[in-house]
Amino acid sequence: MPIYTKTGDKGETSLADGRRVRKCCTRVEAYGTIDELSSHIGLLIAKMKESNAPDVTAIIPDLIGIQNDLFNVSSELAGVHTTGYGEAIKKLEHHIDDISLNLPTLHEFILPGGTECAATAHICRTVCRRAERCIIILTETETIDENIIIYINRLSDYLFMLAKKLNFIAGVKENTWQKTCK
């Protein structure tokens, strides 16, 4: 069976409920950005595997769980009602708290970078923030489970802390913002 259906050749796609919409509509942009985020997390996982560092590879199952959560978010945004996100939010908060306990206190703005894994986590964070903005725009015209917004907001916080943790594990000092404008 071929993968191509030719139903999208004129710039439209189908939502889960069968409605046809333009591929540039806000809903498609939102779940497309979530898909992009999941792909970047997949790249991060691949880079983490390559590092072969036990402290780093131990994080991979958490990221695969997040990819599954993101598939649920995409499904919800495409019109398939999934279960609540309460447990997923709590899990992210728990991970953030655990990471925070073992890292130096943050006193300055961090510039994205450091190790390749940490820099990739920062890219994931920025795509996550863009997804959040897309979802917020969608809420101006559509009803969206507010827990999706909370989940995506927590996920960006988690990805920031993960980048810090990955640099910390590698012993890489992060660069901080040096205010140069007056």
> What sign does the dihedral 30-109-85-102 (CA atoms) show?
positive
- The CA-atom distances, in angstroms, between 96 and each of 10, 20, 52, 80, 137 are 44, 39, 23, 29, 27
Q: Which residues contact 182 (CB under 8 A, 6 or more apart)?
A: none
The reported pLDDT for the residue numbered 9 is: 65
Asked if residue 33 lies in contact with residue 127, where contact means CB atoms within 8 angstroms, the answer is yes
Query: Does the pLDDT of residue 161 top 70, yes or no?
Result: yes
Find out whether 114 and 167 touch, Cβ atoms under 8 Å: yes
Note the pLDDT tens digit of each residue in 12-44. Answer: 666 677 776 655 678 888 999 999 999 999 999
Q: What is the mean pLDDT of the chain?
A: 90
* pTM (whole model) above 0.75: yes
Q: Could you report the per-residue pLDDT of 90-121, keeping only the tens digit for each? A: 999 999 999 999 898 888 898 899 999 999 99
